Chains A and B, each alone.
Chain A
């Protein structure tokens, strides 16, 4: 069983559309994250969600909104997609925010055309 799974793996969409990426972890972790890896391979944290509190990175546009129906799921919804949103988005989880190890999903390659 995959520990952290994301769907879809690839997503091609037009500018202005709204899309969602789903993430599920079966590790029983309390903390989940969304990261963005751009074309230059920089991997930046977007959000972390600790089951009690959502920590928002202030550099993330408010078109991006995480939604967590339960602690095993953290979905990412993106409104009004822009060309610059094209990137690989990774979901991750850890036992707690202070855990030494985070487990990453396989990534979702989003292409906005």
Chain B
């Protein structure tokens, strides 16, 4: 079977840094993706890690440790518009993704 675990909710202050963790148990693991989804909206792709280490894209960074079956998404200089749900998704096999249940991030003033 496959499983992805991430916290269900996180709250952080505007301007701060927040880290959303994701641990996975999957077979045939290729890499870990992160998606953002605002309420009622479509998920949008944020980042992907196939190799161990940190990938940085503006205010967002993503990290992967294959040996620990663990990754995280780091959001810096939080803005109110970052309030959304964030999903980790494992690429399991050549053709598709398996999504976690999501972390709802609330940014407060």
Mutual binders A and B: no
Residues of B within 8 A of A (CB): none
Q: Which residue numbers of A lie inside 8 Å of B, CB to CB?
A: none
